[in-house]
Structure 1
Amino acid sequence: MTLGSHPIGIFDSGIGGATVLRQLQRLLPYEDLLFLADHANCPYGARPAAELRALSAANTRWLLDRGAKQIVVACNTASAAALHWLRREFAHVPFVGMVPAVKPAAAQTRSGVVGVLATPTTIRGALLDEVVLRWAGGAQVLRQGCPGLVERIEAGELNTPSTLALLETYLRPLLAAGADTLVLGCTHYPFLAPQIQQIAGSHVRLLDAAPAVARQAGRVLAERGLLRPVGAGAGAITYATTGDTTALAGLISRLALPPGLVVRADTTAR
């Protein structure tokens, strides 16, 4: 078996990274996708950087042990805390990570004010600092940590009064400050895009980095000669979780994600 026929490995703390998987399937329908949700340790949002590096390394090893030819870190928190470190530790592995969509947001804002919604670790991370410094230009970038949203999404509570109230709490200060462009800086948050849009209003743009990340993954595979041949047949999707497989299968159905095999993962065993 050639390396090109191996799967693309994707990991996140939970189901959020499946928003990236969905874009990968649309862009690269011939590729096999192996998605790992680390539900045993979800959420990642408030964990210290050293712990996030250890969890990211364990997820990476699990995917590599199953033949992954590329690792997509489909988690903004893990990308902020561990992406540079992973590239040093696994120097032979092509990694693609999440970068908050500040560059297109700064280009598109009409008011000059951009809001970034993210987990506490992403908000405090050096990666976001670098992106803002490099790409914000003259735009004012307001950062809003959103603790609790990941847990709501993992519970499938997208349109409940408590979730909407939490969104109101996080969105109102940004909107009051004039933000007309909102960056969804966590891969979970696109699942709440309709609710965010309803609160923010139709004049506010929402930006999700998942399509750009999928395109970058495809470019990296092409550069390394690792794309699966076009016409090889539709790729298979496998979802793995360090938590409860029944709960994950229910979320996949509830969130209308591409169907696939659901398996249990133990990232502590080698």
Structure 2
Amino acid sequence: MTCPPILVFDSGMGGLSVLAPIRAALPQAPVVYVADNAGFPYGSKSEAEIAARVPALLGRLTERYRPRLIVIACNTASTIALAHVRAALDVPVVGTVPAIKPAAEATETKVIGVLGTPATVRQAYVDNLAAEFASDCVVLRHGTPELAAMAEAKLRGEEVPAEDYAAVMAGLTGQPHGVDMDIVVLACTHFPLVEDELAAAARRPLRFVHGGQGIARRVAHLLRDADWTGCEPTGLAVFTLRDEKSAALVPALAVRGLDVDYL
């Protein structure tokens, strides 16, 4: 690449929900999207595994692609490994924060839900966000280990039964005060990819919020002085494992203007 790219990193395809608004905000920027499918899913891994894997992998990727900025487009990796990555790399790094603050500002019932991976929803980081920004709200949490894989299956063109989405939503709506919940924070970047299915499964009006637009604004701000003269807005998707599932995702990536390579 002739210009340093923006590198967007996730365990799988969830970061596409962050990549899209970044490309809309900075259409002239080359991008490299990295899916660590060899480690997918992060949500069921231990904190120690993620804290060791993510900085090491991003170190290799930085050497290979020399990015201008890195986005960790994964809530689980951000809540566990962001500080380690920033300490290890001399590159600006933007993390992904569950959108609890905007949800708390917008709720009318003062009951909000946080839907994430098990690894994310149990983090003290989420406790701190809730205490700082939603102290006047009831914050319901549900960790779903399977929804990220369901989103990946959708991108591969596979059918996912509606009742599977209903079971995920019931993890929130079935809790005490769940009937009063009016906003759900999608605290995994995979989840906006199946927002329509989640909304249908809820069977009542709910608002869903996530951090994609906020991350794009942050990236655009940090790169406001970047010179993109002569840059080609190329797009490359990189997998850490070559397998049948990654091959099945090539059409969905091509539609998004991303060529495919393997690390």
| Fold agreement, TM-score > 0.5 | yes
User: What SS does the aligned partner of 1:203 have?
Assistant: coil
Q: CA distance change for structure 1 residues 76 and 63 in 2, over 3 Å: closer, same or farther? A: same
Measure how far apart 1:166 and its partner are.
3.0
User: What SS does the aligned partner of 2:20 have?
Assistant: helix
Q: Which runs of 4+ in 1 moved over 6 A?
A: none
- For 1:173 and 1:227, the matched residues in 2 are separated by 51
String of CA shifts for 1:164-214, please: whole Å, max 9, x gaps.
343243243257341100000000001110011112246311001111111
Contact 1:13–1:42 (Cα < 8 Å) also in 2: yes
Residue aligning to 2:115: 117
Residue aligning to 1:79: 78
Pairwise CA RMSD of aligned residues?
Answer: 2.2
- For 2:36 and 2:173, the matched residues in 1 are separated by 31
Q: CA distance change for structure 1 residues 88 and 128 in 2, over 3 Å: closer, same or farther? A: same
User: What SS does the aligned partner of 1:111 have?
Assistant: coil
Say if 2:238 is the partner of 1:236: no
Say if 2:250 is the partner of 1:264: no
- For 1:257 and 1:214, the matched residues in 2 are separated by 20
User: What SS does the aligned partner of 1:228 have?
Assistant: coil
Moved more, 142-151 or 198-207: 198-207
Unpaired stretches in structure 1, ≥5 consecutive residues:
266-270
Contact 2:72–2:94 (Cα < 8 Å) also in 1: yes
Measure how far apart 1:246 and its partner are.
5.7
Measure how far apart 1:46 and its partner are.
1.9
User: What SS does the aligned partner of 2:249 have?
Assistant: helix
Moved more, 122-131 or 160-169: 160-169
Residue aligning to 2:173: 172
Say if 2:220 is the partner of 1:221: no
Spell out the pairing of 1:109-188 with structure 2 (5 A cutoff).
109-156=107-154, 157=158, 159-161=160-162, 163-173=164-174, 176-188=178-190
Say if 2:83 is the partner of 1:46: no
- For 1:128 and 1:97, the matched residues in 2 are separated by 14
Instruction: Pick from 23, 26, 29 the counterpart of residue 28 of structure 1.
Output: 26
Measure how far apart 1:159 and its partner are.
4.0
Moved more, 134-143 or 183-192: 134-143
Q: What's the TM-score, normalizing by structure 1?
A: 0.87
String of CA shifts for 1:51-105, please: whole Å, max 9, x gaps.
1022211331132111111110000000011112221222x22110000000110
- For 1:186 and 1:7, the matched residues in 2 are separated by 24
- For 1:68 and 1:179, the matched residues in 2 are separated by 41
Q: CA distance change for structure 1 residues 76 and 118 in 2, over 3 Å: closer, same or farther? A: same
Contact 1:182–1:206 (Cα < 8 Å) also in 2: yes
Say if 2:90 is the partner of 1:88: no
Residue aligning to 2:211: 209
- For 1:213 and 1:78, the matched residues in 2 are separated by 15
Moved more, 32-41 or 249-258: 249-258
- For 1:234 and 1:202, the matched residues in 2 are separated by 45
Moved more, 69-78 or 167-176: 167-176
Residue aligning to 2:246: 248
- For 2:31 and 2:40, the matched residues in 1 are separated by 21
Task: Give identity over the alignment, percent.
Answer: 34
Moved more, 132-141 or 211-220: 132-141
User: What SS does the aligned partner of 1:39 have?
Assistant: coil
Moved more, 202-211 or 9-18: 202-211
Residue aligning to 1:190: 192
Residue aligning to 1:268: none
- For 1:143 and 1:171, the matched residues in 2 are separated by 7
User: What SS does the aligned partner of 1:15 have?
Assistant: coil
Contact 1:49–1:81 (Cα < 8 Å) also in 2: yes
Unpaired stretches in structure 2, ≥5 consecutive residues:
none
